[in-house]
Structure 1
Amino acid sequence: MASDDTATQWPDDGEQDDGKPDSVEQRGVAEDGAKRVPRRYSRRRLITTGAVAAGAGVLAGAVGGVALVGGTAPTPLLQPSGRRRFAGKVVLITGATSGIGRAAAIRFAEEGGKVAFCGRRRELGREVEQEIRNAGGEALYVPADVRVEPDVQRFVDTAVSRYGGLDVCFNNAGITVQKSVHEYTVEEWDNVQSTNLRGAFLSLKYGVPHLVARGGGAVVVTSSANAVATSGGKGAYAASKHGLIGLVQSAAHDYGADNIRVNALLPGTTDTELVRRAAGTENLPDAVWARMADIYAKNTIPDVKRLGTADEMAAAALILASDDLPFMTGAQLVVDGGTTSFAG
Structure 2
Amino acid sequence: MNISGTALGNASGRVEGKVVLVTGGGGGIGAATARLFAEQGASVAVVDVDEAAAKQAAEEIDPEGRRALAVAARLDEEAEARRAVEETVGAFGGLDVLANVAGVRVWGPVTEADPASWDYIVRGNLLQAAYCAKFAVPEMARRGGGSIVNVSSANALAGRPGMAQYDATKAGLLAMTRAMAHDHAADGIRVNAVCPGPTLTDFHVRRRVQATGETPDQAREQLRRQTPTLLRRQADPPEIGQVILFLGSDEASYVTGATYVVDGGLSA
TM-score, normalised via structure 2 length: 0.93
> Which one is further off, 113-122 or 135-144?
135-144
Secondary structure at 1:339 match in 2: coil
Partner SS state of residue 96, structure 1: coil
Residue 116 of structure 1: CA displacement?
0.8
Deviation at 1:291, TM superposition (A): 4.6
User: How many residues of Structure 1 are paired with residues of Structure 2 in the alignment?
Assistant: 263
Between 130-139 and 243-252, report the one with greater CA deviation: 130-139
Q: In 2 relative to 1, CA 170–155 (structure 1 residues): closer, same or farther, beyond 3 Å?
A: same
Matched, 1:337 2:264: yes
Give the match for residue 240 of structure 1: 169
Matched, 1:186 2:111: no
Which digits, 9 at most, give the CA deviation of each residue in 1:113-170, with x for residues without a partner? 1101211111111111111113887100111011111111111011111111111110
TM-fit CA distance, 1:236: 0.9
Q: Tell me how far 1:253 sits from its aligned partner.
A: 0.5
Please give the secondary structure, in 2, of the residue aligned with 1:324. helix
Q: Is the 8 A contact 2:181 2:189 kept in 1?
A: yes
Distance 1:103 1:135 in 2: 19
Equivalent residue number for residue 262 of structure 1: 191
Deviates more, 1:131-140 or 1:170-179: 131-140
- The aligned amino acid for 1:78 is I
One-letter amino acid matched to 1:198: L
Aligned with 2:226 (options 293, 296, 307): 296
User: In structure 2, what is the equivalent of residue 321 of structure 1?
Assistant: 248
Change in 2 beyond 3 A, CA 1:122/1:259: same
Matched ranges for 1:116-155 at <5 A: 116-134=45-63, 138-155=67-84
2:6 is the alignment partner of 1:89 = no
DSSP 3-state at the match of 1:93:
strand
Q: Deviations over 1:173-205 (max 9, x none)?
A: 101111122112221121011011111100111
Question: Relative contact order (alpha carbons < 8 A, sep ≥ 6): 1 or 2 greater?
Answer: 1
Q: Percent identity?
A: 36
Q: How many Å separate the matches in 1 of 2:214 and 2:84?
A: 35
Give the counterpart letter for 2:2 in structure 1: L
**Aligned equivalents of 2:265, 2:35: Cα separation in 1:** 26
Residue deviations 1:39-97 (CA, integer Å, cap 9, x gap):
xxxxxxxxxxxxxxxxxxxxxxxxxxxxxxxxxxxxx3214374211211110111110
**Equivalent-residue separation in structure 2 for 1:149 and 1:124 (angstroms):** 22
CA deviation string 1:277-328 (max 9, x = no partner): 455648631243135314521xx11x20000110101111101111112111
Matched, 1:164 2:89: no
Q: Could you tell me how far apart the structure 2 residues matched to 1:184 and 1:211 are? A: 38
Report deviation, 1:238: 0.4
- Per the alignment, do residues 278 and 188 of structure 1 end up closer, same or farther by CA in structure 2, a change over 3 Å counting? farther
Between the aligned partners of 1:171 and 1:141, the Cα distance in structure 2 is 16
Once residues 216 and 290 of structure 1 are traced to their aligned partners in structure 2, the CA distance between those partners, rounded to angstroms, is: 40
Greater share of helix:
2
Determine which structure has more spread, i.e. the larger CA radius of gyration.
1
Q: Does 1:284 align with 2:209?
A: no
1:93 and 1:101 in contact (8 A); partners too: yes
Question: Which ranges in structure 1 are unaligned for 5 or more consecutive residues?
Answer: 1-75
Partner of 1:222: 151
What is aligned with 1:78?
A: 3
Alignment of 1:7-86 (within 5 A): 76-80=1-5, 82-86=11-15
Change (3 A) 1:79 1:122: closer
2:212 counterpart of 1:212: no
Amino acid at match of 1:177: V
Bigger drift between 129-138 and 204-213 goes to 129-138
What is the distance in 2 between the residues matched to 1:279 and 1:233? 17
Cα deviation code 1:235-259 (max 9, x no counterpart): 1110110000110000000111111
